[in-house]
Amino acid sequence: MKWNRLWLLWVIVIVGWGQAGGGQTIAQSVGRGQTLPGTEPLTIEGDIASQLVAGVDRFLLRELEASIAARQKYWRTDKSSAAAYVDSIEENRRQFAERLGVRDTRASDSEPRYLATVQRSSLLGRGVNYEIHAVTWAAFGDVQARGLLLEPILDSSRTKVRAQVVAIPDCGVLPEQLVGLLPGVEPESQYARKLAESGCRVLVPLLVSRAERLPQLTQREWLYRSAFEMGRGLIAYEVQQVLAAVDWMERERIGRDAGPIGVFGWGEGGLLSLYAGAIDQRITSTGVSGYFDSRQEVWTEPLERNVFGLLERFGDAELAALIAPRALVVEASRAAEVVIPGGRGAPAEIITPPIERVRAEVARAKQLTASLEPSLPLTLIESHSGVGPSGSPEALVAFLEALQVDSPRWDADAAPENLLGEFDPQPRQQALVHELDRHTQMLLRESHYLREANTMNRLDFTSLENYEQSAAKLREFFYEEVIGRIDHEVLPFQPRTRRVQETPEWTAYEVVLDVYPDVMAYGLLLLPRDLAPGERRPVVVCQHGLEGRPQDTIGEAGSQYYAAFAARLAERGFITFAPQNLYIFEDRFRTLQRKANPLKKTLFSVITPQHQQIVDWLQTLDFVDPQRIGFYGLSYGGKTAMRVPALVTDYALSICSADFNEWVDKNASTRNPRSYVNTGEYEIFEFDLGSTFNYAEMAALIAPRPFMVERGHFDGVADDWTVAYEYAKVRHLYAARLKLPERTAIEYFDGPHTIHGQGTFDFLHHHLNWPKR
């Protein structure tokens, strides 16, 4: 009996020890502390999401400032002669035109046509030795440029056109105002008229105005949005109209001995003059008034000025270097100031830059071309210390001297004889907007075939190994040219954690990881409480949507969208991690996109390495199976599901919920009632997706890993048929080309924009090899 009692006592001690220590689950073991083993305490107070966004903002502002020095590697020029110099910058010129979106073939016959009707003559006015006619000229596609032609009257004393000039107004100025037929421009700034009085042929194009297309959305931004998605932009379209005029003038120069060609503009016209002069070497003299400046704050300017990757190679000084050794006149004058409050469109403003900033940018331009012979004939004219009117006599004289127009003469107050009569500018403006939109919509309709040629047809389906190798090349292109890769080395993880919530099924930890200086990754890690020592489980990374937070994926907040799917999956035994993505705080995150784009970066340039850092850290944890980490995102998290797993190949699968659709159409169509073109998400547009990657092509970068779509019939993101159309291409890829039909699925359910959590949960159990409970 004594030995029996001793044996029983020993058994009790051993069992009790096992329950208290050696037999504990992982969650019970770490639950006694506030941090995960191997991590430092997380001590950040306040709103971590807000601090995350603020840190990325600081990072991007530093990158913008550093871009001036960084672009020097693209400017190793040969200055041994003017011809050698021009040859050495040719790739930069091509890159600039490509990034701007000057891609469409221009019209072969761009000679202006007089615009007249039975009741109305094209002749609108007469000045000193010139006539003013309403004209149109073919630009590109079906687009007709519109404007005024100031044609010199030739006689025995003036037998040829001395020079030919495209005089470009600001977008807030009508051609009729610039020539003095309508009020709105002071006589001293009517440079189109003064150039005509000096014997020049002058063509004045109409620009798209900033009138509202929709409440709080200008028609300039409205046209830019869809064009940007197609690899163009409103500025590119307007440059093309200028260059079409240059095409005609060049034929006149060669065939009829007309004079050399110049471009001169103020405000938006100054921008177009600078860009046209940088692209086209047939332009002998370029005049830029009220625009030349440092572009490090281009993200504050109207959104249609956004050029993807502009600052990687080009500021205004570098564009001046593309004009060299031809003449450039910079007139520091009052800018075409405007404040756009935002709302549906992007908030923006144009200010008159401090004269010191203009001088510094001019000095940079001269430094870039230093030692070039002949040196860049760059003249800076300061109109009343940079705040005076445009079109000053000094600026026009310098501009005309480069065109070999000696002794120019004009009467500052000589208004032309006005034959305009009753005039309504709206029909002309509406026709121009309609044609530009129609051109973009034509590009949209053709874009499927471009993507086939540029992306799908480059995939090798002869074997799975060959497919993955060919997809890797496209993945590199997608990262470098569409998403934008940040070249910095990531920092060590330096993980900081703290326990924030416990339930009977799981324990939640906040986790912060370093990524770049000022850039962190943050999220919630949920560990099932029955996770045993030595056990490795699959992880599902659960991504919130627009304006969401990790906490929305585990509790009541946001339950109408998320159905606590991260918590529900943890209850099924999965480890889950819910990251904080950047798309929160409205304009605060949208301006991150604006700061990133000029650097050839996007929001996903930051989000992708954040996710790579998260996955890399998860793979170091003893209780995580590094081969079984899946991704599941809703809404903007669904956008993430299409982009991040395409690049972060450590994700074993991806599920796109409440977002998958014909994405390019949704971003570029002005007919689709669900299009982003008409909404407040001004950051959503991605450059040139039209010819590169729609959602089917992104899915091709995820393949052959499993991929699933979760779709509610009443989800307002898109219509079922557009989802089905795009998914059919994915199904064909997996089932017909890769012979892996079991690796893709779509689930429709009778519901709205929400996590359904049925077919997708089954998909996760199956492909992450975790048994159902």
Write the pLDDT tens digit of every residue in 145-181: 999 999 999 887 777 899 999 999 999 999 999 999 9
Instruction: Please name which of 542, 539, 565 lies closest in space to residue 554, comparing C-alpha atoms.
Output: 565
**Residues facing 338 on adjacent strands:** 350
Instruction: Dihedral sign for Cα 23, 28, 32, 34, please.
Output: positive
* Cα 228–Cα 231–Cα 237 angle in degrees, nearest 5: 75
Looking at residue 412, its pLDDT comes to 76
Long-range CB pairs of 485-490, under 8 A, 24+ apart, other chains included: 485/605, 486/516, 486/601, 486/605, 486/606, 486/609, 488/516, 490/514, 490/515, 490/516, 490/609, 490/612, 490/613
How far apart are alpha carbons 56 and 749 in whole angstroms? 37
**Whole-prediction pTM:** 0.95
Residue 595 structure tokens: 């700061």
Q: What is the pLDDT of residue 374?
A: 75
Average pLDDT of the chain is 94
In tens, the pLDDT along 628-652 reads: 999 999 999 999 999 999 999 999 9
| Contact present, 504 and 529 (Cβ < 8 Å) | yes
How high is the pLDDT of residue 292? 98
pLDDT on residue 741? 98
Mean pLDDT is lowest, of 20-24, 110-114, 462-466, 539-543, for: 20-24
- d(C-alpha 557, C-alpha 549), whole Å: 9
* pLDDT above 90 (res 11): no
> pLDDT tens digits for 58-85?
999 999 999 999 999 999 999 999 999 9
Q: Model confidence over 253-281: pLDDT tens digits? A: 999 999 999 999 999 999 999 999 999 99
**pLDDT at residue 29, as a whole number:** 53
Those residues whose C-beta lies under 8 Å from the C-beta of residue 476, and which sit 6 or more positions away, are none
Q: Hey, what are 388's tokens?
A: 């005076």
Q: Which residue has the tokens 């970068």?
A: 701
Task: Pick the closest to residue 539 from 563, 552, 523 (CA basis).
Answer: 523
Collect all residues with Cβ–Cβ distance below 8 Å to 352 and sequence separation of at least 6: 290, 334, 335, 337, 386, 387
Q: What is the pLDDT of residues 442-491, one digit of tens each?
A: 999 999 999 999 999 999 999 999 999 999 999 999 999 999 999 999 99
pLDDT of res. 273: 98
What is the rounded distance in angstroms from the CA atom of residue 169 to the CA atom of residue 177? Answer: 9
pLDDT at 375: 75
The three-state DSSP-derived secondary structure of 592-625 is: HHHHHHHHCCCHHHHHHHHHHHHHHHHCCCCCEE
Give SS3 for 104.
coil
The DSSP bridge pattern shows strands 163-168 and 113-114 to be unpaired
- Confidence grade of residue 33 (pLDDT, cut at 50, 70, 90): low
Nearby residues of 100 by Cβ (< 8 Å), 6 or more positions away: 233, 235, 236, 239, 275, 279, 307
Distant-in-sequence contacts of 90-96, Cβ < 8 A, 24+ apart: 92/313, 92/314, 92/318, 92/322, 93/278, 93/279, 93/322, 95/313, 96/275, 96/278, 96/279, 96/313, 96/314, 96/319, 96/322
DSSP string, 38-98: T-EEP---S-HHHHHHHHHHHHHHHHHHHHHHHGGGG-----SSHHHHHHHTHHHHHHHHH
Instruction: Please spell the DSSP secondary structure of 706-741, one letter per residue.
Output: -EEEEEETT-TTS-HHHHHHHHHHHHIIIIIISS-G
* The amino acid at 327: A
Confidence of residue 556 (pLDDT cuts 50, 70, 90): confident
| Per-residue model confidence (pLDDT) at position 584 | 98
Tens digit of pLDDT for each residue in 323-346? 999 999 999 999 999 999 999 999
With bands split at pLDDT 50, 70 and 90, how would you rate the model's confidence at 12? very low
pLDDT digits (tens, 9 = 90+) for 107-148: 999 999 999 999 999 999 999 899 999 999 999 999 999 999
Q: What is the pLDDT of residues 380-428, one digit of tens each?
A: 999 999 999 999 999 999 999 999 998 888 887 788 999 999 999 999 9
Q: Which residues share a beta bridge with 40?
A: 496
Q: pLDDT, tens digit, for every residue of 357-376?
A: 999 999 999 999 998 987 77
For the record, the structure tokens of 322 come out as 């593309």
Distance CA 426, CA 430 (A): 6
User: Between the CA of residue 181 and those of 167, 171, 418, 429, what are the distances in Å?
Assistant: 15, 17, 6, 17
CA 206, CA 106: separation in Å to the nearest integer?
18
Q: Are 128 and 414 in contact (CB under 8 A)?
A: yes
Q: Taking a C-beta distance cutoff of 8 angstroms, is the pair 641, 543 a contact?
A: yes
In angstroms, the Cα distances linking 627 to 266, 412, 511, 699 are: 59, 77, 21, 20
Question: For residues 139 and 108, what is the distance between their CA atoms, to the nearest angstrom?
Answer: 9
**What is residue 16's three-state secondary structure?**
helix
In three-state form (DSSP H/G/I as H, E/B as E, the rest C), the secondary structure along 277-344 is: HHHCCCEEEEEEECCCCCCCCHHHCCHHHCCCCHHHHCCHHHHHHHHCCCEEEEEECCCCCEEECCCC
For position 19, what pLDDT does the model report? 35
- The answer to whether residue 216 scores a pLDDT higher than 90 is yes
Per-residue model confidence (pLDDT) at position 4:
45
pLDDT at residue 462 in the model = 97
CA distance 642 to 697: 10
Question: 586-599, pLDDT tens digit by residue?
Answer: 999 999 999 999 99
What does the alpha-carbon distance between residue 751 and residue 773 come to, in Å, rounded to a whole number? Answer: 25
Residue 690 reports pLDDT greater than 60: yes
C-alpha span between 635 and 641 (Å, rounded): 9
HEC per residue, 417-477: EECCCCCCCHHHHHHHHHHHHHHHHHHHHHHHHHHHHHCHHHCCCCCHHHHHHHHHHHHHH
Write phi, then psi, for 278 (nearest 5 degrees): -70, -30
Residue 698 and residue 477 in contact, taking contact as beta carbons nearer than 8 Å = no
- The alpha-carbon radius of gyration of the chain (Å, integer) is 31
- Model pLDDT, residue 24: 54
Confidence of residue 25 (pLDDT cuts 50, 70, 90): low
259 near 160, Cβ under 8 Å? yes
